[in-house]
Amino acid sequence: MSKQELIPNLFRTEYQKIVSVLIYLFGVEHIEIAEDIVSDTFLSATELWDKKGVPENPIGWLYTVAKNKTRNYIKRHQVFEQKLVAALKTNETASKEIEIDLSVKNIADSQLAMIFTICDPIISADSQVTLALNLLCGFGIQEIADAFLTNKEVIYKRINRAKEKLKEAKIKIEPPSLSQIASRLDNVLKTLYLLYSEGYYSTSQNIPLRKDLCEEAMRLALLLAGNNATNTPQVNALLALMCFHSSRFDARLSDAGDAILYLDQDESLWNQELINTGLYFLDRSSNGNHLSKYHCEAGIAYWHTRKADSPEKWENILRLYDQLLAIEYSPTAALNRIFALSKIKGKQKAIVEAEKLNFTDNVFFYSLLGNLYTNINDGKAISSYQIALNRSASNSDKATIQKNIELLKIKMAN
């Protein structure tokens, strides 16, 4: 990895870990102080590594500098030091020198506590997800705005309001109780699902796949699965979903970085180890009697790891989409269901069902129509693809759509 790529990558993977530990130590009333200290740490890395070169252990360097900056801040701000030490003494954790523990275990404990603190019902569900994406996952304002299909100003205000509400309520950051887990886990999982989805199909950057975001989502999901109190069937179902999707990463992009559609992927590039891991978590998710959207999507993703284009495969996928839509309706799931229907009932039947949806503001609606009309009404297929091309924001999607249009034009010319 080049020096230009290293610091952004470390920012993505380490920033939120250090921030979580410091907020866990300082409390929610000092969120901005924690963020400033860690931001200053990365600024120092940018300046010094450019002059002196990258240290032998970059992560260790960041942790050491963050610890030193934290201690220096506490020493320079006597009032802050007195308040912090008093608070720590209340918890019987104070010592002569405040310990900034950046061990793997404390990072995990801090992030677990932070996840459930952020998802306190005192703030709205959207604000919970937004704040978690920002503080725990290292999402920038623009990335979150894209994930919520809104603008930066809305997200900026939402984050600030959420922080203020947590401060006003004097919410403590502590390991979640069983009641907190029960009431807040849904929003925790929604946060990780959004994070993974943004990596799997990136809307904030003009690239079709961001593995770093997917890996971060899996890391946090594994954190939940590794704790007895949060190791629920839904958590395991979400992990299974992530594993199945991740198993096809190497087959999803060409050497030029273009997206490769599912039916054109090289099955030999699929990661069998991740598929087996997904099966392990899918099996663990079968405990209990609650069917969640994650169970349905994990099942769909599993069947997509079986390349054989058999009726059994698509019948199972269609059944799972029907269950998913009953649990949580979404235009994306409805459109994907139509594609599965076309594999079983044929394109004519699927076209009728697709036209009923009439998602005229959805670019994928027109891409689906282009696919369904191909070889039935190639002229209409081209016009549908053209609308999708004009509305697509992704260069990768545009390249795929343009290729389909050109192939149809060649076919019609002959």
The number of beta carbons lying within 10 Å of the beta carbon of residue 142 is 13
Lowest mean pLDDT among 99-103, 323-327, 371-375: 99-103
φ, ψ of residue 257 to 5 degrees: the values are: 90, 10
Query: Is this model's pTM higher than 0.85 or not?
Result: no
Residue 341 has pLDDT above 50, yes or no: yes
Query: If 0-12 CB within 10 Å is exposed, 13-18 middle and 19+ buried, where does residue 50 land?
Result: exposed
The predicted model gives 267-275 an average pLDDT of 94
In a shared domain, residues 163 and 126 = yes
User: Based on the structure, what is the number of domains in the chain?
Assistant: 2
Q: How far apart are CA 229 and CA 208, in angstroms?
A: 35
CA distance between the termini of the chain: 48
Q: How far apart are CA 396 and CA 260, in angstroms?
A: 9
Taking each continuous run of H as one helix and of E as one strand, the counts in the chain are: 20, 0
Residues near 413 by beta carbon (within 8 Å), at least 6 away in sequence: none
Q: How far apart are CA 34 and CA 30, in angstroms?
A: 7
In a shared domain, residues 159 and 219 = yes
pLDDT band of 92, cuts 50, 70, 90: very low
Q: How far apart are CA 67 and CA 22, in angstroms?
A: 9
Residue 43 has pLDDT above 70, yes or no: yes
Question: Of the candidates 363, 373, 364, which has an alpha carbon nearest to the alpha carbon of residue 342?
Answer: 373
Q: Are 33 and 12 within 8 A, CB to CB?
A: no
In a shared domain, residues 66 and 155 = no
Q: How far apart are CA 311 and CA 288, in angstroms?
A: 29
Q: How far apart are CA 197 and CA 214, in angstroms?
A: 8
The domain boundary residue, chosen from 102, 136, 152: 102
Residue 206's pLDDT is what? 57
In a domain, 381, yes or no: no
In a shared domain, residues 137 and 79 = no
Q: Are 212 and 223 within 8 A, CB to CB?
A: no
Query: Token pair of 349, please?
Result: 């039947």
Query: Token pair of 58, please?
Result: 């970059």
In a domain, 40, yes or no: yes
Mean pLDDT of all residues belonging to the chain: 88
In a shared domain, residues 18 and 117 = no
Q: Which domain does 20 fall in, by range? A: 1-102
Share of the chain above pLDDT 90, in %: 53
β-partners of residue 259 are 253
Q: Are 293 and 245 within 8 A, CB to CB?
A: no
In a domain, 182, yes or no: yes
In a shared domain, residues 148 and 39 = no
In a shared domain, residues 145 and 200 = yes
Residue 309 has pLDDT above 60, yes or no: yes
Residue 185's pLDDT is what? 92
Residues near 131 by beta carbon (within 8 Å), at least 6 away in sequence: 118, 123, 158, 159, 162, 163
In a domain, 307, yes or no: no
Q: Are 253 and 260 within 8 A, CB to CB?
A: yes
The predicted model gives 371-381 an average pLDDT of 95
The domain boundary residue, chosen from 231, 254, 274: 231
The number of beta carbons lying within 10 Å of the beta carbon of residue 375 is 11
Radius of gyration of the chain (CA): 24
In a shared domain, residues 77 and 158 = no
The domain boundary residue, chosen from 62, 80, 102: 102
Most confident of 7-11, 265-269, 314-318: 314-318
φ, ψ of residue 385 to 5 degrees: the values are: -60, -35
Residue 87 has pLDDT above 60, yes or no: no
In a domain, 254, yes or no: no
Share of the chain above pLDDT 70, in %: 92
In a shared domain, residues 124 and 184 = yes
Cα dihedral angle (143, 146, 148, 150), rounded to 10 degrees? Answer: 120
In a domain, 17, yes or no: yes
In a shared domain, residues 124 and 42 = no
Cα 334–chain centre separation: 21
pLDDT band of 207, cuts 50, 70, 90: low
In a domain, 399, yes or no: no
The per-residue pLDDT for range 165-184, each reduced to its tens digit, is: 999 998 888 888 888 888 88
In a shared domain, residues 186 and 73 = no
Q: How far apart are CA 165 and CA 167, in angstroms?
A: 5
Q: Calculate ∠ Cα 94-36-122, nearest 5°.
A: 75
In a shared domain, residues 79 and 148 = no
In a domain, 135, yes or no: yes
